[in-house]
Amino acid sequence: MGTYADKGDEAALLDAVDQFIERDVRPFARKFEADDSYPKEIADRLSQLGLFGATIGGEYGGLGLSARIYTRIVERVSACWMSISGIFNSHLIAANAVERFGTEEQKQRWLPMMARGEMRGGIALTEPDCGTDLQAIRTEAARDNDGLVINGTKMWITNSMYGNFLAVLVVTNPIAEPRHRGMSLVLVEKQDGYETSKLEKLGYNGIDTGSVHFNNTRVPADNLIGMEEGKGLQQVLVGLELGRINIAARGVGLARACLEESIAYSQLRKAFGKPICNHQAIQFKLADMATRLEAARLLVERAAHAYDDGIRCDMEAGMAKLFASEAAIQNSIEAMRIHGAYGYSKEYNIERYYRDAPLLAIGEGTNELQRIIIARQLIEKSKAD
């Protein structure tokens, strides 16, 4: 993967992202969110900024950003409206699978279109009966003369309605033991037999989350990532390292927004003759929020560095995801308390942060699963010593 090596370029890109947020996102976020309507113009601007190709290598038309810079972008966007981040984050997990595991021909065919944002998509793993336990998936892809025929249902799939492709985890050999040896990852374009329906959510509005029904959906055999059956789960799990670091960066963004808005509000709001920031109970909250934020950011940076160095980093990514998502949840609760009734009101952003934050403890592997991953690594490492 290429990198955006020049520091001047990085600073210019971060400036452009900041301008985009202030001009194109902030003034519209509340309305799109309240209506739960898809922000198509904002998504198109993401494409102009090159963010659909943020982590795709320069040789395939992407920006080739390091995880370190990518997470700073995700933090910035999420500090304004987390849903916008999801539009390119899920897409890039699918692109990452193609770039790491696809054949050269698949990379040449798919990645430039993905980088330009002409092909926009996501990753479809979860099903109505399973999410954490991916070995229990049932969506099947059967071989047919000239390709694969897919049947089954995926659930909670980001970008499934307004995107035009998904990387779908399917069972290609139902009798394989262990089951993951019969799983493959397939790129599926929108077509007949690919039906979606929108799911209503607590938060993370605006972005499309849907169920996807595959009904005899046909794809050419060369849409199988790596042209090899039985590697799908492994391909997905490696891709989730970047996915978890990006969820953690969203947590940092959300935790930061909660803190910044609480600091500002606590200086304006007066109680008992003085701004509430002069009451020690509020100061304690601000101090804890800032400390959580800083610790979360450091864990994200550490995980991003390990990822950029090409080191296995499921433990670092898991720790960052676990801590930063809980920091976002905690900071949203404290922000609401600091804002009093205004925190509960639709006039302020705090109630949105409070509704958006819990997703971070669920998506890309629940926090219970992160604890399991971290503990397994600790034990493995202790045995190796």
Least distance between ligand FAD and beta carbon 377 (Å):
16
| Chain positions contacting ligand FAD, by CB under 6 A | 90, 122-126, 130-133, 156-158, 201, 204, 209, 359, 362-363, 365-366, 368-369, 372
Least distance between ligand FAD and beta carbon 132 (Å):
3
When the beta carbons of 51 and 338 are compared against ligand FAD, the nearer one is 51
Least distance between ligand FAD and beta carbon 183 (Å):
13
Q: Given the DSSP bridges, would you call strands 274-275 and 270-271 parallel, antiparallel or unpaired?
A: antiparallel
Least distance between ligand FAD and beta carbon 314 (Å):
15
When the beta carbons of 138 and 302 are compared against ligand FAD, the nearer one is 138
Least distance between ligand FAD and beta carbon 199 (Å):
8
Decide if 214 contacts 151 (C-beta within 8 A). yes
Q: Is 41 a catalytic residue?
A: no
When the beta carbons of 343 and 365 are compared against ligand FAD, the nearer one is 365
Using alpha carbons, select from 290, 303, 291 the residue that is nearest to residue 257. 290
When the beta carbons of 66 and 158 are compared against ligand FAD, the nearer one is 158
* Residue nearest ligand FAD, Cβ-based: 131
Distance of CA 20 to the CA centre of its chain: 19
Annotated catalytic residue within 99, 200, 364, 368: 364
Neighbours of 7 (CB within 10 A): 9
> What letter represents residue 230's amino acid?
G
When the beta carbons of 83 and 266 are compared against ligand FAD, the nearer one is 83
Least distance between ligand FAD and beta carbon 197 (Å):
14
Neighbours of 98 (CB within 10 A): 24
When the beta carbons of 182 and 363 are compared against ligand FAD, the nearer one is 363
Distance CA 335, CA 350 (A): 7
- For 28: left if phi > 0, alpha if psi spans -120 to 50, otherwise beta; the answer is alpha
When the beta carbons of 339 and 352 are compared against ligand FAD, the nearer one is 352
Q: 240: which residues sit within 8 A by CB, 6+ positions away?
A: 93, 317, 364, 365
When the beta carbons of 57 and 206 are compared against ligand FAD, the nearer one is 206
- Straight-line distance from the first to the last Cα atom of the chain, in angstroms, rounded to the nearest whole number: 32
Active site residues: 364
